Structure 1
Amino acid sequence: MKTLLLIFSLLSSPLFAALAENNIASIAKSNPLEEAYKREFIFLNAQKSQLELSLKKNSAHYRKLLKNLETEQNSKEASLVKLTGQNEKLDAEVNELEVQVSAINDSRSIFESTMEQAQSMLELKLSEELTPSQKSEQIFAAAQDKMRLSHSIEMYNSSFYDQSGKKVEGKIIKLGEIARYGVTSQTSGVLSPLGNKEWGLKSEGGDSALSLAEGKVPAVLNLYLYEDANRAIIEKESKNIVQFITSGGSVAWVIVVLGLVALVLVSYRAFSLKQLNNKHIPHRALTESDLLKIENHTHSSGAQFVQLIKNKLQSQEVPTEKMIEEAYLVVGSKLDKFGSMILVLASVAPLLGLLGTVTGMISTFDIITQFGTGDPKLLSSGISEALITTELGLVVAIPTLFFGNMLTSQSRKIKNQLEQISYLLLQSSGLQSEKRELNV
């Protein structure tokens, strides 16, 4: 586009017009066609020379302009890098200032809350017109006075409630800010805070109170320590076993019932195995006298075992192996009675405890959803249900599992005794058969 403008300017210049007229005049004298070519050639040479001259000038100008632009660009880039660094530094300083401002605000809020708490604890009412430094000076002065009084014993006349709940007049002996005694003409003892600066007399510490009232310091002081004189101390109520189980919810009662059932079954099984136990079994072939001794233990498994075999011997004179095996199965079923049930109860009890834990936690989360976490007493019911059921489940499961396995071991021992009796019976029957064969 610039080249076309340059050509157009050359064509329209006076110099180019004068050269063209002179060339045309000289060419008109020669051959018209040749003159026309010459004129065109001259015109083009002049135009070429003009364009080359203009190109040199423009090339130098544009090279200089490009160099200036590159220099300016490098300068701008350097300035940009410098400004970027300054900007990052300023951002870091701003962030640091924001942190400092936040820390100052936090410190101010902590200071204000500390001042308010100190005024409440020291029972001070400071004017709002005071500066923070003046308030802090007065608070520190009051705190020093209170610390000085907290190391002293003070006695003054005031009213408090006796053990029957009646308000009486008497002397209050103040031991700093940790304990108080009350003394009347009828009774004396330590005082406990009831709230709203009221005090209640307890039966403990009467001797210490009388000694302090007489100006004597006993060797041993019976104290009732408190943290805040304005807050009542509520004595913790002790729970009986029924209240403890009830706080665990319905699942806790189910676990208790299972525990009672397990206790009955374990007791019955222990008593039954004790009766079925066999003693004085000879380690040799049984004789008629040995069988009579075993039968004399009427309730033992061996006696029942021998009696069953005798009942089956009505049709045979010698006991067979099948007969002994049938008798062993009958007596063995009595030995295994309720054994599996006890182990099942031992397995179910902790699972019920886990169920109670889940139920209690669900109840706790429902309370949190409805009332929030502001009141711990509302959350205590669900938490107690979760923990108590777990505790009861383990209390039932551990001894039940222990005694169940111990009774199973005892049952296995008695079965081994029955196998020994079976072996001795078979051995005795073999000897009797040999005797009969010899007699024949």
Structure 2
Amino acid sequence: MIRASWKNAVGLAGVVALLAVAPQLGAQSPDLNALLREVEQAARQGGEINREREARFLRDRSKQQALLREAEAEQKQAQARIDAIRKRFEAQQQEIQALKTQLRDNVGELDQMYAGIRQTASDLRSTASESLITAQTPERLDLLDRLAERNELPEIGDLEALWVTMLEQAVEAGRSVRFDAQVVRPDGVGQTQSVVRVGPFTAMSDGEYLSLDADGRLVALPQQPSWGWARTASAFEAADSGVVPVMIDPSRGTLLKVEGERPDLLERIRQGGAVGFLILVIGFIGIVIALVQWRYLSSAGGRMRRQQADRANPKPNNPLGRLLLTFSDDAAPTDDPELVELRLSEAVLKETPRIERAQSLVKLFAAVAPLLGLLGTVTGMIATFQAITVFGTGDPKLMAGGISQALVTTVLGLVAAIPLLFLNSLLVARAKVLIQMLDEESAVMLADRMERQP
């Protein structure tokens, strides 16, 4: 309103200015009256416009107040709705939090169950991969792999299949069955054969023991156990029913592999090296010499006993017979008793070397064999320490050669010495018996000769 009054004042000032200059204009132009009228008319129009503006402003102000009141009412309604929504939101937030807590509890139980299923499947997968039962039912490994690696809850069908697999593992562990399966030979060629399985422990085919490789295939052991094990396997395969003894391997193949890799007698001897062969040669020669001498003493003893029963007919094939021939009436006339005794002693001494021969040599071999074993022990330990110096102690297999030589030579030395000592003792005892028999017979002959003297 102040602004409108100011505009009217400006208009009136303009009119006054025009009236002030009107005399001059009137003097200069005839149209000044018309100009005055136009100015007055413009002033009137400007006033009307201003009044109209004022009226419109007043109307707009009333309308704005109504709009303000309406907006304030809408604001109050909106605020009420906001408060209601906020309350509902807070209630829903609390409900969501409660549902989350419940979900967390339920999911925790499901997670435990899921973890238990995965752990059970993983443990059973580890057991089944090393079990000979898998060779008969290899498809169960796929189920166990799927359950062990699954990232979501399994289906009911998979859980039932897992339960059936566990029950099957327990039942088949106590059964002996025969089935056809692919068997990989040591040369890498596979062929279908009849396989006999004893629980999860042992499997055999054609008298050979089988093992399970990493792919679940039956593989014939490259080195089979000793012939006794093979004979037992063949007998068990041939049996149709009844109770039959069979070898089982609780370690699922490990003991069979160790038994197959165990060196035989020749391999053990080769581990002894040159010293081991030398010990065996000495032991063999000593035993042969002792046995030959024992045979001679046994034969001589038998002939001497027969000669004792028949002194009237002395024979030169035994020591007693030769002694009787030496002092027969024809060969030994009547002599002085002392001379006869000396001749008897000479005859006995002549037979003694034959009776006691080989004893010193056998005794020497019995003493040398353990010393050679000790020599092999020392050389084997030297080789072991050399291997340790070069390669360190990281790989025990590098030291096994020297240790084997040390132990095998010791064993060979004892094996050679012990029987030689026994044989030498037998030879000494047998020789003493024969020499004592000669001494007794010589004393008898001396007494008879002295009785016949006048």
- The one-letter amino acid paired with 2:305 is K
Judged with a 3 Å threshold, the aligned counterparts in structure 2 of structure 1 residues 274 and 220 are, in CA distance, closer, same or farther, namely: closer
- The one-letter amino acid paired with 1:427 is A
**Aligned residue for 1:165?**
188
Secondary structure of the residue aligned to 1:236 is helix
> How far off is 1:420 after superposition?
0.8
Secondary structure of the residue aligned to 2:260 is coil
What are the equivalent positions in structure 2 for 1:408-419 lying under 5 Å apart?
A: 408-419=428-439
1:330 pairs, out of 350, 373, 391, with 350
Give the aligned length: 279
Q: Which has the larger radius of gyration?
A: 2
> How far off is 1:326 after superposition?
1.2
> How far off is 1:400 after superposition?
0.9
Q: Does 1:301 align with 2:277?
A: no
Q: Is the 8 A contact 1:190 1:224 kept in 2?
A: no
> How far off is 1:165 after superposition?
2.8
- The one-letter amino acid paired with 2:347 is A
Judged with a 3 Å threshold, the aligned counterparts in structure 2 of structure 1 residues 370 and 279 are, in CA distance, closer, same or farther, namely: same
Q: Is the 8 A contact 1:275 1:299 kept in 2?
A: no
Q: Distance in 1 between matches of 2:423 and 2:401?
A: 33
Q: Distance in 2 between matches of 1:261 and 1:180?
A: 45
Q: Is the 8 A contact 1:349 1:394 kept in 2?
A: yes
Unaligned segments of structure 2, at least 5 residues: 1-111, 142-180, 222-229
Q: Distance in 1 between matches of 2:341 and 2:253?
A: 88
Judged with a 3 Å threshold, the aligned counterparts in structure 2 of structure 1 residues 429 and 234 are, in CA distance, closer, same or farther, namely: closer
**Aligned residue for 1:265?**
289
Secondary structure of the residue aligned to 1:416 is helix
Secondary structure of the residue aligned to 1:192 is strand
Secondary structure of the residue aligned to 2:453 is helix
> How far off is 1:260 after superposition?
1.3
- Taking only the aligned residue pairs, the percentage that are identical comes to 26
- The one-letter amino acid paired with 1:329 is L
Judged with a 3 Å threshold, the aligned counterparts in structure 2 of structure 1 residues 370 and 239 are, in CA distance, closer, same or farther, namely: same
What are the equivalent positions in structure 2 for 1:366-377 lying under 5 Å apart?
A: 366-377=386-397
Unaligned segments of structure 1, at least 5 residues: 1-135, 212-217, 283-288, 435-440
1:143 pairs, out of 88, 110, 119, with 119
TM-score by length of 1: 0.51
Q: Is the 8 A contact 2:380 2:402 kept in 1?
A: yes
Q: Distance in 2 between matches of 1:365 and 1:310?
A: 71
- The one-letter amino acid paired with 2:219 is G
> How far off is 1:322 after superposition?
1.5
Q: Does 1:200 align with 2:226?
A: no
> How far off is 1:367 after superposition?
0.9
**Greater helix fraction, Structure 1 or Structure 2:** 2
What are the equivalent positions in structure 2 for 1:35-434 lying under 5 Å apart?
A: 142-148=118-124, 150=127, 155-156=137-138, 161-163=183-185, 165-167=188-190, 192-195=211-214, 199-200=218-219, 236-237=260-261, 239-277=263-301, 278-279=304-305, 291-293=311-313, 295-296=314-315, 298-310=316-328, 313=331, 320-434=340-454
Judged with a 3 Å threshold, the aligned counterparts in structure 2 of structure 1 residues 233 and 146 are, in CA distance, closer, same or farther, namely: farther
Q: Distance in 2 between matches of 1:229 and 1:328?
A: 68
Secondary structure of the residue aligned to 1:374 is coil
Q: Distance in 2 between matches of 1:346 and 1:399?
A: 8
> How far off is 1:173 after superposition?
12
Q: How far does the alpha carbon of each residue in 1:135-183 deviate from its partner, in whole angstroms, 9 at most, with x for none?
A: x99987643322355489762359965336324699999999x669799
**Aligned residue for 1:84?**
none
TM-score by length of 2: 0.50
Judged with a 3 Å threshold, the aligned counterparts in structure 2 of structure 1 residues 191 and 138 are, in CA distance, closer, same or farther, namely: farther
Q: Is the 8 A contact 1:191 1:224 kept in 2?
A: no
